Structure 1
Amino acid sequence: MLIRIVRMTFQPERTAEFLRIFQDSDALIRQMPGCLRLELWQDADQPNIYCTHSHWASAEALNAYRRSALFGQVWPATKALFAVPAQAFSVHQVSLPISQP
């Protein structure tokens, strides 16, 4: 499983536009093959900063979404609202053994 986090800083006056884009595309993204989870987070101190947190079955599934027509519509429309470029990274969850005292 691959976890993808994308941190986006929007022009403050354009956050409502982003929320409409996200609301309109949320269910469609969740239906993409390999999308296991999708959440939208808002920064607690800076209300124009949002993060998407998604889980994908594999890097291939994420890349297939990134090559899709849906992404081709959603990302350019979202990117046009940024105040600064987005920061995106993919991670894997780490499971450590429980240590005994």
Structure 2
Amino acid sequence: MFVRIVKLSFHPENIPVFLENFELVKNQIRNFPGNRLLELYQDKTNSSIFFTYSYWESEEDLENYRKSKLFNEVWDFTKKLFNDKPEAWSVDKLDRLV
């Protein structure tokens, strides 16, 4: 399993639109084959910056999602709202303490 972290930066006036759309699609993303967790975070010092964390069983599962109709619809909608280029990282979780 690995984690995909995506940094998204929005024009302030587009934040409500983004959040509304995220609410509509989050369960579909979370239930996509291979997805084990989906979280959304907002930066505490710059409210225009958000991060998504998604846990995937395999890189193939993430690639299948990225090639899906769902991803294309979500991304086409979301990218119009950005005020900066998104950034993404795929990382392996090495440890977790709870």
CA displacement at 1:20 relative to structure 2:
1.0
Identity across matched positions, percent: 42
| Superposed counterparts of 1:50-89, under 5 Å | 50-89=50-89
Please name the residue that 1:98 is paired with. none
RMSD: 0.7
Task: Report whether the alignment pairs 1:19 with 2:8.
Answer: no
2:61 is paired with a residue whose SS is: helix
Please name the residue that 1:99 is paired with. none
Q: C-alpha separation between the residues in 1 aligned to 2:42 and 2:67?
A: 26
- Flag structure 1 segments of 5+ consecutive residues without an equivalent: 96-101
Aligned length: 95
CA displacement at 1:43 relative to structure 2:
0.2
1:47 is paired with a residue whose SS is: coil
More strand by share: 1
- Flag structure 2 segments of 5+ consecutive residues without an equivalent: none
2:37 is paired with a residue whose SS is: strand
Q: CA offsets per residue over residues 23-52 of structure 1, 9 Å max, x none?
A: 010000011000000000000111111000
Q: Which letter maps to 2:79?
A: K
Q: C-alpha separation between the residues in 1 aligned to 2:58 and 2:2?
A: 5
The ranges of structure 1 where at least 4 consecutive aligned residues each deviate by more than 6 angstroms after the TM superposition are none
Q: CA offsets per residue over residues 40-97 of structure 1, 9 Å max, x none?
A: 00001111110000000000000000011000100011011000010001000124xx
